[in-house]
Chains A and B, each alone.
Chain A
């Protein structure tokens, strides 16, 4: 599904990712953990193609295609979905209108018929239940005046409607109370399938109690320094990141 080779990315002239390697197979859930400033969000944004994130070197193959050459919208149409850490507000544009436009763009790109208003509404109502979202939010402007939890739920709801092949979740748990976290995680779990992969970025292990990953990676100072099973996350929770820094950082930097 996704192969990242020696990816180096700079933001405003500072190199944040200093050679990331990662391989995600179809149907797998990978978690990336790491301390603040280690480059987790940079990785998410670089994969989504955000400007200001300058790829210095390395390559990213997504289903065999060079992801880095694609525009952000083509990445989305190819099935890469980023659940934003800070979803933006778009005043005046209704959630429904926004999502219908997005969905039909993606369907058109994939050679599918566009959905008419009725079909769209049926689909949307069904998917809203996944994240227990208030249907009223559909007619409100995108994320405008949403609470933190509503914004995050809205991201997962969009994920459910747009059905990407690779979903990147950038600190989706941040700012969520435990109930909202469970709802979001529950939604994600229902969306897991053998054709869909997830890259879950988080600072805390807690989310991974609910979304159980196949592989956990630890990102420190722009590099993945440790990979393992879900137990690695528990270990990190117990011992913090320092042991890895101490153990791993020294040899790597020598």
Chain B
């Protein structure tokens, strides 16, 4: 009962900040999107925060997050360029959008859009300048009616990234979205909101990364929506490397049209309490959805990945591979759903999730689930939990490799199955370096 009443209090805390937030919007509260914000806060008031009794939150206790009263992030002072530089991925410094505490920083960003109609901009600017695209796509996929964190984000959404690839254009250079949360002066909560629109027969690559500064706890509640039109391809990489006292909730909703392809590689390393809700919706024939994930957690970190692949139409293919390494007292949660709806005949859907427990006190709760309503389908899932292969370990040691090194070689091999799918070489190499260094610390 105590936890419940706490949920109510903290819910009211967020609701009570909506008014002030609304006033701060000045003129833009007249825009149609603001009506959506209002519905979203009303919905959030109905939904509240989920509790442990909610099947989707069975293994994730939100009370550490809910005991904080985080203020809405104010427009931050800028950061020194060299502070930012440490987070920039190799080779992507020229294609960079930087966000500080959820707000776009023009002076830190460095991006010149190619002249062929490609738009890479902040959502804040797009809300002002491009109402036609915003009205058509924003908040059309992420379900704020059902998900409290999506509702909370939608209510407070004011900035983020907006990426638009027009029909028949392949955007060659990957776009780097760099989110830095600066909590050195105090705590805050931010609601970054990203919108990706890939036109017919277009291609776009996005690298999203999250980092933090300072010692205070903070809360990032992100929503990304992606509308993928016919024949388009989106390569999406997300790297979450927040501070170890950060709370991070990330919701992805994709919506795919015919013959489109979505590749998501999702990597979580940071955060005290992390929850990802990743949903790929294959809503037309001959779509492909790929979802690859890797997470590593140590100390008291809690990383929860809830994924769903929704096969709504026939002849689609999906492949999901999720791997995690848990040390210390870390807790991992994996919940992977595959839905195959009544019409979705000839679906091929594969899912595999594997976890390594490295310490006595690490825990993994895994729930891969299939819900199949069509008969002519090939679906499978596998889940394994275990330790490093002792035979392999012995083999390496018998060749003269010390145990610790042998361990990290094998851990690295375990992870590389996921990283191998990152098509942008510089990003893969950069990540490999970080991971190698982290393994040494596990």
Direct contact of A and B (CB under 8 A): no
**Chain A residues within CB distance 8 Å of chain B:** none
**Chain B residues within CB distance 8 Å of chain A:** none
